[in-house]
Amino acid sequence: MAHCDPNVLALAALGEPIADAAERSHLAGCVECSDELESLATTVRVARTGQADLVLPPDTVWQGVQATLASEPAPLPIPLPLNRKRSRWLAAVSVAAGLLVIAGSVAIGRTLAQGPTPTTVAVATLTTLPGAPNNASGSASLQQRGSSRTIEVDTVGLADPQGFYEVWLMSPDDSGLVSLGTMSGGQTRASFPVPDGLPLAIYSNVDISDEPIDGNPAHSAVSLLRGQFTV
Ligand SMILES: [Zn+2]
C-alpha cells in the first residue's frame, strides 16, 4: 500500500488508535512512516510537557504549505521526495491543529479524523479491444485524498475470464507497465491504491487484461478494455 495517510499519523501521535488494519500493518513494517510518527509524537510530547519552545518553521515553509493547500487537489502527482516533504509539513500542521483539540476544540478533531474529502481528478472511458466481449465497457476515475491516490474501476460485460482480469497502468507507448490488481469474473467494481510517486502523466492508460492462471505475473497480451486518463 501507499505510505500511511499523514492525518492518520498525526492522530496516532496524539494518541488516537489507528482504525485501519492495513495502515497498522504498514506502519509496523515501514521505517519511514515509523520515523514520521515518532517525530510527530516527539512534537506532541514537547508541546504537552512544555519542555521546550516549539520552533516555527521558516517563512518559506509556510508559504509552501499555503501554496499547496491553495492548489489542492493536484491534477497530477509531484515527484516523490517533494511529496513526502510536503506530507511531513502537512502532518506537522495537523499536529499543531491537534494540539488545539487538546486545548478543547472538538470540532477540529472531527474534521481531522475524517481527513480531506476524496476528489475526482481524472477520468478515463474504457473501450473494447479486439477479442473483448461485444457488450463490454468500463470507466476509471482517479481519486485524490490528501497525498494518496486511488483508481476506481467500473466494468460491464466482463464475466467470463480465462482465469481472472487484471488492471494495469501503462504508458501509451507501451514502454512502462504497472499492475494495480485483479478483478474476478462478474465483478463490476474495484478500487486500487496508486503506488506513491508513480507519474500518471506517463502511466496515463488504464488497461484491463484477461490473465490465465499460469503463475506468470507478466501481462498476457490479451487486453480487453483500455482508456486514457483525461484531467
Ligand atoms: Zn510507509
Ligand 1 centroid, distance to 8 Cα (angstroms)? 12
Q: What pLDDT digit, counting tens, does each position of 112-133 carry?
A: 555 678 899 999 999 999 989 9
In this prediction, residue 51 has a pLDDT band, given cuts at 50, 70 and 90, of low
Q: What is the pLDDT of residue 188?
A: 95
Ligand 1 centroid, distance to 225 Cα (angstroms)? 32
Q: Which three cell numbers stand for residue 34?
A: 515509523
In this prediction, residue 205 has a pLDDT band, given cuts at 50, 70 and 90, of very high
Phi/psi at 78 (nearest 5 deg)? -100, 160
CA 181 to chain centroid, in Å, comes to 14
CATH number of the domain at 119-228, please?
2.60.40.200
Domain range annotation of the chain: 6-114, 119-228
Q: What is the pLDDT of residue 22?
A: 92
Q: What is the pLDDT of residue 111?
A: 47
Q: What is the pLDDT of residue 58?
A: 65
Q: Which residue would you say has higher pLDDT here, 70 or 209?
A: 209
Ligand 1 centroid, distance to 144 Cα (angstroms)? 18
In this prediction, residue 157 has a pLDDT band, given cuts at 50, 70 and 90, of very high
Given a cut of 90, whether residue 208 has pLDDT beyond it is yes
Q: Which residue would you say has higher pLDDT here, 51 or 183?
A: 183
Ligand 1 centroid, distance to 64 Cα (angstroms)? 23
Ligand 1 centroid, distance to 133 Cα (angstroms)? 40
Given a cut of 80, whether residue 89 has pLDDT beyond it is no
Ligand 1 centroid, distance to 25 Cα (angstroms)? 10
Q: What is the pLDDT of residue 147?
A: 87
Ligand 1 centroid, distance to 180 Cα (angstroms)? 18
Residue burial 100-112, b: 16+ Cβ < 10 Å; e: rest: ebeeeeeebbeeb
Ligand 1 centroid, distance to 93 Cα (angstroms)? 19
Q: Which residue would you say has higher pLDDT here, 38 or 112?
A: 38
Ligand 1 centroid, distance to 116 Cα (angstroms)? 19
Ligand 1 centroid, distance to 26 Cα (angstroms)? 6
Q: Which residue would you say has higher pLDDT here, 203 or 83?
A: 203
Residue burial 3-24, b: 16+ Cβ < 10 Å; e: rest: bbbbbbbbbbbbeeebeeeebe
Ligand 1 centroid, distance to 7 Cα (angstroms)? 13
Given a cut of 60, whether residue 52 has pLDDT beyond it is no
Strand positions, DSSP E, the chain: 119-128, 137-145, 148-156, 164-170, 177-183, 189-193, 205-211, 223-228
Dihedral angle, C-alpha 159, 162, 167, 170, nearest 10 °: -130
Given a cut of 60, whether residue 90 has pLDDT beyond it is yes
The mean of the pLDDT values for the chain is 83
Q: Which three cell numbers stand for residue 188?
A: 463490476
Q: What is the pLDDT of residue 152?
A: 97
Ligand 1 centroid, distance to 83 Cα (angstroms)? 13
